[in-house]
């Protein structure tokens, strides 16, 4: 399938600046930070919101987001489409997402390689899928349905996982590569998810990145993770989004940027959210890496080396 052209709103009808995501650091938008962001001398590269928080018709949340969107590029990140679900995509939820996208004309729209619904029930989690041909065709079909409704390609995010399936017959990187090839979607590389999954399953994150199609990555996520132990006393990492990015993840991120070049990079912090200056500092750390390593990257190959 031919990959759809990147979204470019018609300037004559756009209500907001036609601003793509710059190759800089961005942050997840929190209501308590809006005033500080709008008055800060440091201009964050872009902001990202969870689509489900803006599916109502109006109110203070929409007024605040409109003010942000008038000043900054925007990325919309979905958490509820349940792309991997056997039950299919909820037409109602997809229509609500489409209204958010049409209303704010974001530079990027992304979702997770996961499922979170069964029959009429929704779970407050992003659950994994087995990597096999049946799951592949189902996920591709759902992404095509989403992209046809939104009239634009989306980005698909690699998951953080804690279990593996006996039904899996292909690697995660091959599975994601085939999804992108068949659906025409782009990819969102969550570097923290790579590190979390690698630690939990006992494989090397650089081996994963060496096989990952970095040339299709249009956005990167960074976040903090928590340490726990499993029932056998082994280390278990949780994708908690409640603390600064770990040094080990920063090092992995440097490897990605040295290979892939400067890619728009989001700092995620969704729990125990700190004051804006703390989140801003994390973004500035990412900006420094983008400035230092992005210009000298191996733009042609985009394969992480050991």
Q: Quick one: which of 203, 191, 211, 201 has its CA closest to 255?
A: 191
**Residue 263 located in a structural domain:** yes
Out of 110-114, 127-131, 301-305, give the one with best mean pLDDT: 110-114
The answer to whether the beta carbons of residues 67 and 33 sit under 8 Å apart is: no
How buried is 50 (Cβ within 10 angstroms: 0-12 exposed, 13-18 middle, 19+ buried)?
middle
SS3 percent helix, strand, coil of the chain, rounded to 5, is: 40, 20, 45
- In this prediction, residues 154-181 reach a mean pLDDT of 91
- Burial letters for 126-142: b for 16+ Cβ neighbours within 10 Å, e otherwise? bbbbbbeeebbebbbeb
In the structure, what pLDDT confidence band is assigned to residue 14 with cuts at 50, 70 and 90? Answer: low
**Residue 268 located in a structural domain:** yes
Share of residues in the chain with pLDDT > 90 (%): 73
Claim: this prediction has a pTM higher than 0.85: yes
| Strand extents, DSSP E, 5-120 | 25-28, 47-50, 74-77, 108-112, 115-118
In the structure, what pLDDT confidence band is assigned to residue 289 with cuts at 50, 70 and 90? Answer: very high
DSSP symbol at 238: E
Out of 80-94, 120-134, 248-262, give the one with best mean pLDDT: 248-262
In the structure, what pLDDT confidence band is assigned to residue 6 with cuts at 50, 70 and 90? Answer: very low
**Residue 143 located in a structural domain:** yes
**Residue 303 located in a structural domain:** no
- In this prediction, residues 36-58 reach a mean pLDDT of 96
Question: What is the pLDDT at residue 13?
Answer: 55
Phi, psi of 182 (to 5 degrees): -80, -30
The region that residue 192 occupies, defined by phi over 0 for left and psi between -120 and 50 for alpha, beta otherwise, is alpha
d(C-alpha 261, C-alpha 216), whole Å: 12
The token duo for 218 is 């249009």
Name the more confident of 84 and 4. Answer: 84
Per-residue pLDDT of 93-112, as tens digits, reads 999 999 999 999 999 999 99
The token duo for 53 is 């928080």
**Residue 235 located in a structural domain:** yes
Half-sphere exposure of 79 (CA within 13 A, CB side): 14
> Over 60: is that where the pLDDT of 4 sits?
no
Expressed as residue numbers, the domain containing 134 is: 25-293
Q: Is 205 helix (H, G, I), strand (E, B) or coil?
A: helix
Question: What is the pLDDT at residue 249?
Answer: 98
**Residue 108 located in a structural domain:** yes
The answer to whether the beta carbons of residues 260 and 254 sit under 8 Å apart is: no
Domain count, the chain: 1
- In this prediction, residues 148-154 reach a mean pLDDT of 98
**Residue 306 located in a structural domain:** no
Q: Report, in angstroms and rounded to the nearest whole number, the Rg of the chain calculated over CA atoms.
A: 18
> Over 60: is that where the pLDDT of 299 sits?
no
The DSSP H or E segment spanning 243 is none
Question: What is the pLDDT at residue 18?
Answer: 84
**Residue 9 located in a structural domain:** no
Look up the CATH number of the domain holding residue 58.
3.20.20.150
């Amino acid at each position: 399938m031919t990959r759809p052209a990147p979204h470019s709103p018609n300037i004559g009808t756009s209500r907001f600046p036609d601003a793509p995501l710059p190759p800089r650091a961005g942050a997840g938008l929190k209501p308590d930070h809006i005033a500080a962001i709008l008055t800060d001398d440091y201009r964050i590269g872009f902001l990202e919101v969870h689509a489900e928080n803006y599916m109502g018709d109006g109110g203070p949340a929409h007024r605040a987001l409109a003010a942000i969107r008038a000043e900054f590029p925007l990325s919309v990140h979905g958490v509820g489409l349940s792309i991997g679900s056997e039950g299919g995509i909820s037409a109602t939820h997809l229509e609500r997402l489409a209204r958010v996208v049409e209303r704010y004309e974001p530079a990027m729209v992304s979702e997770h390689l996961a499922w979170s619904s069964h029959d009429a029930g929704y779970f407050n989690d992003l659950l994994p899928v087995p990597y096999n041909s049946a799951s592949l065709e189902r996920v591709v079909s759902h992404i095509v349905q989403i992209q046809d409704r939104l009239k634009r390609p989306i980005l698909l995010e690699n998951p953080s996982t804690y279990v593996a399936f006996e039904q899996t017959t292909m690697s995660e990187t091959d599975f994601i590569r085939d999804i992108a090839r068949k659906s025409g979607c782009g990819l969102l590389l969550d570097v923290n998810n790579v590190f979390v999954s690698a630690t939990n399953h006992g494989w090397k994150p650089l081996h994963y990145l060496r096989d990952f199609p970095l040339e299709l990555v249009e956005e990167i996520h960074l976040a903090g993770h928590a340490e726990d132990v499993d029932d056998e006393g082994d280390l278990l990492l949780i994708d908690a989004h409640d603390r600064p990015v770990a040094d080990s993840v920063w090092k992995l991120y440097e490897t990605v940027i040295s290979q892939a070049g400067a890619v728009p990079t989001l700092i995620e912090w969704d729990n125990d959210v700190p004051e804006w200056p703390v989140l801003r500092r994390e973004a500035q750390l990412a900006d420094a890496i983008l400035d230092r390593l992005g210009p000298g990257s191996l733009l042609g190959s985009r394969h992480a080396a050991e």
